[in-house]
Amino acid sequence: MTPPRPSRPSRPAHPATPAPSAAGPRFDGHAALITGAGRGIGAATARRLAAEGAQVLVTDLDGDRAERTAAAIRETGGTAEALPCDVGDRASVEAAVAHAVARFGRLDVLVNNAYSCSSDLPLFEDEPDEAWERDLDISLSGPYRCSRAALPHLIASGRGAIVNIGSVNGEQDFGNHGYSAAKAGLASLTRTLAGHAGPRGVRVNLVAPGTVRTDAWAGQDVALARVSRIYPLGRVGEPEDIASAVAFLASRDAAWITGTTLRVDGGLTATNYGFQHAISGE
């Protein structure tokens, strides 16, 4: 039985329909916190938001890696700071949110990008509890902790947005049991939190990438070339492909979009190229 829903808080006055982003950088006057931003999708997102005017707090479990991303942004004229953050630890998350607000005076955008993805063993029954629990803790409970800590500040901004980084693994079977379950759960959390936070002026959406050329695929160029054959657009993704989608969903260009999953997967989940190749004998 579905439990009764709590009464909704009163709705704030919402701003008028926003002007087109062509009027200027979309994130002028915005502050953003990005987790797992020391490299890959997170780093590309930090660069993209900063290039569009945002003040960015780059967080990562590896503080040195976070600082390298922040330094690169500053070298190109952007505003960025770095801070170590373990999304598996509530105190660390709350300290990161407090740091962003103290340094920038506000928080408008949260990007939940940090994740854990354990390799599968040949037999499911041999999977250790530790791998399963870590994947769920970092990839699902981490965004929960970050969103909980950030939400009061996102509400106060009057234009708050949360963008979760999910995966096509949350929709179809591509292996990685714990990671896939976590990403499916994150899509559900995106929808329920969107319903809860929408009346208070905060939008919550999710980007579901396909295969993206990040450090996770380092040294596997041959495998990536093979994988490219199953993508209708003929290639795997780049971190910047995902960053572009995040920037859209975080901006006022997406002012009437919440609770959605945006697949950025080169058409992978729209068709079955593997089946077509098998039938054709290619």
* Catalytic residue, candidates 144, 179, 231, 273: 179
CA distance 204 to 191: 7
Q: What angle do CA 128, 130, 132 make, to 5 degrees?
A: 80
Confidence (pTM): 0.90
Instruction: Report the share of the chain in percent with pLDDT over 90.
Output: 84
CA distance 180 to 168: 8
Helix, strand or coil, per DSSP, at residue 31: strand
pLDDT in tens, 219-231: 888 999 999 999 9
231 is catalytic: no
pLDDT in tens, 38-84: 999 999 999 999 999 999 999 999 999 999 999 999 999 999 999 99
Of 14, 93, 103, the C-alpha closest to 54 is 103
CA distance 11 to 14: 8
Helix, strand or coil, per DSSP, at residue 274: helix
Task: Give me the residue spans of the domains in the chain.
Answer: 26-217+238-269
pLDDT in tens, 193-217: 999 999 999 999 999 999 999 988 8
Q: Are 110 and 163 in contact (CB under 8 A)?
A: yes
User: How crowded is residue 53: how many other Cβ atoms within 10 Å of its Cβ?
Assistant: 15
Burial class (CB in 10 A: 0-12, 13-18, 19+), 196: middle
Question: How confident is residue 21, by pLDDT bands cut at 50, 70 and 90?
Answer: very low
- In this prediction, residues 114-131 reach a mean pLDDT of 94
Only one residue has tokens 């992978």, namely: 268
Superfamily of domain 26-217+238-269: NAD(P)-binding Rossmann-like Domain (3.40.50.720)
